[in-house]
Amino acid sequence: MSKSYRLAILGATGAVGTELLELLESRNFPIADLKLLASERSAGRSLRFKGENIPVEPVSDRAFENVDIVLASAGGSTSKAWAAVAVAKGAVVIDNSSAFRMNPEVPLIVPEVNPLAAANHQGIIANPNCTTILMTVAVWPLHKVKPVQRIVASTYQSASGAGARAMAEVKAQTSAILQGQPPVAKVLPYPLAFNLFPHNSPLNDLGYCEEEMKMVNETRKIFGTQQIRITATCIRVPVLRAHSEAINLEFETPFSAEEAREILNSSPGVKLVEDWKTNHFPMPIEATGKDEVLVGRIRQDISHPCGLELWLCGDQIRKGAALNAIQIAELLVEKNLLQPSKAYVSS
């Protein structure tokens, strides 16, 4: 990556936006120029990058001129409003929202899983949902050896998935409870401190919430097959940062825990964390700030001869959002894929 690129971060002042800044610096992404874009409300602030204060500009048509890559982390409505504008100006947009994930013309990429799909972009590439990213990084290496027939996922999702304000709210609720005061919920629908509740995204007619269906539909798209049977239950838990997932996998033939452990121990983006003597397995507190998805407690499913159980934890803001986006940008640069295969036409 000897060439330098002109980048813009849309949603620069949010939790994912600030993480993008940190990772761009620590990974030394080749940047010739950096624009920080946000709403009018956040414009005028400045953020530190490589020892300099960079002003935050209000997003506008002109803000995307002379930009090669846009890392968007400002929410679906903002992405729908500005992604096509940025592409028309000549930029490639890597979008962290759900706006384009299921669009058949937009690649949905986890670099450890389906990097070749990036070659088919038309100016926009979608970053999957955080829970989907973490799960697919761990399941894909096993799926390549023996195709998975069924996935049953149970997630334990941290406050960070609802943004920086939700994280602050959990801290305030914890302090209130410890002082004998009632917890107040404004960002999340219910108090999360010392509590948990099913994910509050909208429910469909089958009783599955939007978050659960993201795991179903996105995983099938990323894996390139509609044949995997997938079900999920998503729960918000009183953890500040890093999601956890219990994954049950069913294969056509038996898959030994020993073989799975050996495969995952050498898989990109995965760190095996298992100490059976001390009952030490992945924990969100240890996954926080880490690039890898921590995987462990791999064992046979005693209820099914072809079943396998595993437990994982991953930093929702990092690999679940910002890091995956930057890895996509690195992939585009490394493989010389910044030019779209054809022009994106917004619907």
**∠ CA 69-73-77 to the nearest 5 degrees?**
110
Residue-wise pLDDT tens digits, 196-217: 999 999 999 999 999 999 999 9
Question: According to DSSP H, which parts of the chain are helical?
Answer: 15-26, 76-88, 130-145, 164-178, 210-223, 257-265, 284-287, 323-334
Question: Once rounded to an integer, what is the mean pLDDT over residues 172-187?
Answer: 98
Comparing C-alpha atoms, which of 102, 319, 131, 128 is closest to residue 235?
Answer: 131
**Cα torsion angle, 71, 7, 105, 145, sign:** negative
Catalytic (active site) residue 306 = no
**Band (74; pLDDT cuts 50, 70, 90):** confident
Please identify which of the residues 121, 130, 143, 313 carries the catalytic annotation. 130
Q: Which CATH number fits domain 131-316: 3.40.50.620, 3.30.360.10, 3.30.420.40, 3.40.47.10?
A: 3.30.360.10
Catalytic (active site) residue 313 = no
Q: Give the domain ranges of the chain.
A: 5-99+321-334, 131-316
Per-residue pLDDT, 2: 63
Residue-wise pLDDT tens digits, 283-299: 999 999 999 999 999 99
Asked if the model's pLDDT at residue 75 lies above 90, the reply is: no
Contact assessment for residue 253 and residue 306, using Cβ atoms and an 8 Å cutoff: yes
Least confident of 14-18, 202-206, 341-345: 341-345
Distance in angstroms (rounded) separating the CA atoms of residues 155 and 237: 9
**Band (344; pLDDT cuts 50, 70, 90):** low
Per-residue pLDDT, 297: 98
Asked if the model's pLDDT at residue 1 lies above 60, the reply is: no
Residue-wise pLDDT tens digits, 212-257: 999 999 999 999 999 999 999 999 999 999 999 999 999 999 999 9
Asked if the model's pLDDT at residue 339 lies above 90, the reply is: no
**Which CATH class for the 5-99+321-334 domain?**
alpha beta
Per-residue pLDDT, 29: 97
pTM: 0.95
Q: Which two tokens stand for residue 184?
A: 């107040």
Asked if the model's pLDDT at residue 20 lies above 60, the reply is: yes
pLDDT above 90 coverage of the chain, percent: 92
Q: Which two tokens stand for residue 340?
A: 């779209």
Residue-wise pLDDT tens digits, 45-65: 999 999 999 999 999 999 999
**Band (41; pLDDT cuts 50, 70, 90):** confident
Secondary structure of residue 309 in the 3-state scheme: strand
Across 44-160, the runs of DSSP E, i.e. the strands, are 46-49, 52-58, 69-72, 92-95, 124-126, 148-157
pLDDT above 70 coverage of the chain, percent: 98
Per-residue pLDDT, 181: 98
Q: How many CA atoms lie within 13 A of 236 on its CB side?
A: 24
Please identify which of the residues 121, 199, 243, 313 carries the catalytic annotation. 243
Mean pLDDT of the chain: 95
